Amino acid sequence: MAEAGVDSPETRLAVLGSPIDHSKSPAIHAAAYRELGLDWRYERFDVPEGELAGFMSTRGPGWRGFSVTMPLKQEAHEFASWLAPAAVEIGAVNTLVFDDPDAGGAARGWNTDVLGFVAALNGAGMEAAPRVCLLGAGGTAAAVVAALPSLGTSELRVVVRAPERARELATLASSLGVGVDVLTFAQFDALPAESKHAELVVNTIPGDQDHLLVDEAWVDGALLFDVLYDPWPTNLASRWLSAGGRVVSGLELLLEQALVQVRLFTGRGVSERLPREAEVRAAMRSAALRVSE
């Protein structure tokens, strides 16, 4: 049964980005709305960098919101007329919600990656991570840093190829009361194995990361969250598992942040549960796995 006041034959949603053909979002969101009894259409549009404003100017009536992926998250931040605190901290928006579906209506901007990251970790049994090692300094890395206060993190080590790329991350971490240390991969590799240890290691860098020595001293008691998920497992995840460690796939982040988007698109707050939310999440997961096959 569709919920009163939010369903209509013209209700439309989409994911925007470039490239976008690989996106699992249409399958994941469609599964959620079917489970909720909502006859909504969720599409995908290839919108290159610099063209978000032009795309928005062509929007007709019936649009409820957009999921936004790379390379448009910073542009979406500038487009939104209102920003949630996490979007302000990160300077990036991955969700635009229109209060008025008529063409030309203003949009509110959110970043659901932060809550999605925490929810994915909680689902893996991790409630706290005093020490975190973050590989990479891209857009997803900023969402990870913004989530650290929720995990009680006091020490953050950022490992990057070029230290200047981590300046904004370091500033964000410091503003959140998290101590931060930035190292190059060469400096990190040179550390004694025991000093590399952290409760949580997050990889945000595409590629195999073959140069990283994954040994028991680094892996012992630590959880690896690899934000990549296709193909899976990554080389790093496979070596981490072989060393006896635990791993969370980026598919969990994709699902949890999308679940928060579904809450927002259906008129709820970011933490306001959906009806039969467990069943909705299960339907979304099944859809994502079918797309991967």
Helical ranges in the chain per DSSP H: 25-36, 52-57, 73-79, 85-90, 113-123, 139-147, 167-175, 185-189, 216-219, 235-242, 250-265, 277-292
Q: Is 18 exposed, middle or buried (0-12, 13-18, 19+ CB in 10 A)?
A: middle
Give the residue numbers marked as catalytic.
73
User: Within its chain, how far is the Cα of 140 from the centroid?
Assistant: 6
* Euclidean distance between CA atoms 173 and 195, whole angstroms: 21
Backbone CA torsion sign across 226, 238, 210, 131: positive
